[in-house]
Structure 1
């Protein structure tokens, strides 16, 4: 892979998105305040909003706040809805009893976890007109894709395998986001039952996807400094997204206990778990995660039932700064995350990329 070829790929991506550098923020639900995206975009990158939990009004407010601070590019991300979960009262009763030992008592109604209306959220994003509409956990309908594109937005499709990448490109994706097994947070597999199997590392996944599609590929997972970003670009990416690597930046507003736990965290100190939401995600291996691994807590319920069952525990843990029970997502390169302004992080990585390509 020549430096000229890498430069051409980067130029294609920046021309498409309006970004000045091939370094962007990964969309993290609950961890992407507008201030973080403003800082990333201000340094030439692409901002991101993980809008999964937001009402339409909150989506509009996020976009408005971002634009008050930046005229740079940004994307807004939604999960493609899963089928209705199968409920098992006996199982949920056992989970409520077990989880009540880890936090406040879990009422019978906790598993009735409501979701935002996907169609209403899409309409709010269309109205907000971000640079790109981003999806994870599957492919939206042809009607949604057509609506997004008709309003001048790009579609970024997150995938975890070559098969998913091909399906996304065939459906009209403008950009493929290749999420490798090192990534923190939820796995973006189209089929939830495949999420733990589809954890291919970046060295194998990225070139395979880049060789299989014609649209630009953005690498996500395990990238947090210049070395890892350059490696992804050499492997076929046109740009990179960074999630965990920004969580210690002041603009992220990350819970102090979570941010502190990321410092020096080794890859083996993270684990894939369904214990917080029912969907597989990579988190810090805390006592709560270990209890699930050891079978001390019953197998998690499906998403979003498990999210509802753990809501009180997660809130109490966050309020008390108790990392042992906190939902603390972390990628395998967490130790590279720096406690400095996000704009400096972007500028530092972009500078190393420029020096490599010179």
Structure 2
């Protein structure tokens, strides 16, 4: 199948004018950004991990009020309950007290959103797609999605994960290279560091292994990345960090400015914010957390709960050195123009590089 026919088949299946998807970044997918990407002909997204069922419904209502563009909603596959270690958590609290407000022991107990209720809310909103990360949905959830005409994109970080997702009924897999900003989507949290596979090794291997369409993500922020991913067999691309400097993203200025200056080596994978591995800008906090003297991060979501006070304080103060500043390795390629213009330009330039018809 040619690149043109592969892209056309995917776009027709999802009502798109171009094979560009906004990455569903939890806490960083305002409605305005998704609407802009959808207006250009791509697919919007909502990272719903932290959202209540009512907030999920409200997001979808606002999204549709601005047009009829396609969008995906993303939910994490729940982790098993974390193993608790009071002594280790006390050490983490002491360390974090050097970087922000004193952390009360009760901070670790903040609960997660109810996954079943979130699934109910997502199904009720009827998005084009629900996407997963950190594993595959259970059989009952997959059946409910299919029965309601909602397709499932499964984020994968290895070929074995891609095959597992396809066998579980995924309609497409999102191959996430290790260049990606934010959380690593590894099915097994303890293996994430050992499976940091770059996109351009992962992508063709996944394409060769599965029969469903493959969406490429991780380190794609300009037309060259799009063209390369499509050449390697992707049916579409998903872009996250590349949109964070657009005005619709509402990214705090210190974070957005740092993205524009960042070289690939200015990012690093860390568990210091949430307990799950994620790629962040290198900051004073992430560097200190990586030293031998620093305590080992608590498991997810305990670490996320414990760092909440520091992260909130940093956001209010505009202090990048303590801020949760997720960033992919191609951060500096992200443009500051309106997101609709960026999306349209990316596809126009990618088509030119690929010698695809503009019709």
The TM-score bracket by the shorter chain reads: over 0.9
**Is 2:329 aligned against 1:325?**
no
> Could you list the per-position Cα deviations for residues 187-219 of structure 1 after superposition, in whole angstroms to 9, with x for gaps in the alignment?
000000111122111111000000000111000
Residue 262 of structure 1 aligns with which residue?
A: 259
Q: Structure 2: how far apart are the matches of 1:61 and 1:280? A: 30
Contact 1:222–1:331 at 8 Å: present in 2 too? yes
Question: In structure 1, the residue corresponding to 2:215 is in which secondary structure?
Answer: strand
Worse-superposed segment, 96-105 or 294-303: 294-303
**Is 2:121 aligned against 1:124?**
yes
Residue 24 of structure 2 aligns with which residue?
A: 27
Q: Structure 1: how far apart are the matches of 2:13 and 2:141? A: 21
Q: TM-score, normalised by structure 1?
A: 0.98
RMSD across aligned positions (CA): 0.8
Q: CA deviation at 1:295?
A: 2.7
Worse-superposed segment, 343-352 or 303-312: 343-352
Q: Structure 2: how far apart are the matches of 1:284 and 1:70? A: 34
Q: 35, 44, 48: which is aligned to 2:45? A: 48
Q: 229, 235, 240: which is aligned to 1:238? A: 235
Q: Structure 2: how far apart are the matches of 1:235 and 1:66? A: 32
Q: Structure 1: how far apart are the matches of 2:106 and 2:253? A: 31
**Is 2:112 aligned against 1:115?**
yes
- The aligned runs of 1:141-156 (5 Å cut-off) are 141-156=138-153
Q: 283, 288, 309: which is aligned to 2:280? A: 283
Q: Matched residue pairs, number? A: 355
Contact 1:159–1:178 at 8 Å: present in 2 too? yes
> Could you list the per-position Cα deviations for residues 260-308 of structure 1 after superposition, in whole angstroms to 9, with x for gaps in the alignment?
1101200100000000000000000101000011134211000000001
> Could you list the per-position Cα deviations for residues 138-169 of structure 1 after superposition, in whole angstroms to 9, with x for gaps in the alignment?
01110000001111111000000000000000
Q: Structure 1: how far apart are the matches of 2:91 and 2:201? A: 40
Q: Which runs of 5+ in 1 are unaligned?
A: none
> Could you list the per-position Cα deviations for residues 112-132 of structure 1 after superposition, in whole angstroms to 9, with x for gaps in the alignment?
121001000000000000000
Residue 99 of structure 2 aligns with which residue?
A: 102
Contact 1:165–1:176 at 8 Å: present in 2 too? yes
Q: 167, 173, 176: which is aligned to 1:179? A: 176
Q: 264, 270, 274: which is aligned to 2:271? A: 274
Residue 158 of structure 2 aligns with which residue?
A: 161
Question: In structure 2, the residue corresponding to 1:27 is in which secondary structure?
Answer: coil
Q: CA deviation at 1:354?
A: 2.2
Contact 1:160–1:198 at 8 Å: present in 2 too? yes
- The aligned runs of 1:288-299 (5 Å cut-off) are 288-299=285-296
Q: TM-score, normalised by structure 2?
A: 0.98
Q: 299, 312, 315: which is aligned to 2:312? A: 315
**Is 2:220 aligned against 1:223?**
yes
